[in-house]
């Protein structure tokens, strides 16, 4: 199980780290947009929308990365006081009963959302906005899939650690 968890985590880390580079583009676009607006009195609707899309990419992939790295949100004040065994049990329960069912449900319903967007060639309602709205909407099921993979890897890790003889 540990090898499969390693493979999932490494694949997720590589994918999420590639998406991290979108943040540099996002920072550049924000600075460019601010300078263009306040110095040259010029704005582009498509650049503003692209900023939102890049931000969404960072947030959606960031959740999966946080789960893999163990930096996801939880009640750390209580969690730190638990023994390793109980920390593992809490992780197992939250990943298995909360994270995976919740994001699987979103995944299930978001696919038709993306399909409808693609079918009608949905685009921005803003003049000069971005076309292909289905691409940004496709991040929703992708993010759910990544988060579920991260949760599965976390569950496999916890099961391995709970099976270890020296867990108390």
Enumerate residues 6+ apart whose C-beta is below 8 A from 82. 90
User: What are the residue boundaries of the structural domains of the chain, listed by start?
Assistant: 2-163
**Tell me, what's the pLDDT at 75?**
59
Enumerate residues 6+ apart whose C-beta is below 8 A from 133. 117, 122, 123, 124
Interatomic CA distance for residues 39 and 37, integer angstroms: 6
Interatomic CA distance for residues 167 and 161, integer angstroms: 7
For residue range 61-104, list pLDDT tens digits in order: 888 888 887 766 665 667 677 777 887 888 888 889 988 999 99
Q: Is the pTM of this model over 0.75?
A: yes
**Strands, E, within the chain: which ranges?**
none
138 DSSP 8-state letter: T
C-alpha gyration radius of the chain: 20
Judge whether residue 166 has pLDDT over 90: no
For residue range 111-138, list pLDDT tens digits in order: 998 999 888 888 887 777 778 888 888 9
H or E element that contains 37 = helix 2-38
Task: List own/partner pairs for 85-92 with CB under 8 A and 24 or more apart.
Answer: 85/162, 85/167, 85/168, 88/158, 88/161, 88/162, 88/167, 89/158, 89/162, 91/154, 91/155, 91/158, 92/155, 92/158, 92/159, 92/162
């Amino acid at each position: 199980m540990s090898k499969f968890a390693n493979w999932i985590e490494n694949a997720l880390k590589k994918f999420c780290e590639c998406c991290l580079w979108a943040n540099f583009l996002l920072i550049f676009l924000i600075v460019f947009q601010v300078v263009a607006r306040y110095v040259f009195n010029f704005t582009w609707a498509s650049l503003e929308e692209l900023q939102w899309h890049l931000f969404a990419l960072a947030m959606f992939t960031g959740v999966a990365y946080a789960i893999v790295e163990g930096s996801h949100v939880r009640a750390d004040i209580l969690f730190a006081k638990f023994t390793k065994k109980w920390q593992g049990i809490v992780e197992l329960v939250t990943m298995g009963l909360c994270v995976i069912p919740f994001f699987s449900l979103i995944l299930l319903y978001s696919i038709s959302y993306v399909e409808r967007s693609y079918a009608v060639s949905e685009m921005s309602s803003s003049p000069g906005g971005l076309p292909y709205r289905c691409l940004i909407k496709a991040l929703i099921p992708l993010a759910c899939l990544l988060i579920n993979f991260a949760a599965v890897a976390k569950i496999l890790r916890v099961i391995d650690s709970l099976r270890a003889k020296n867990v108390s």
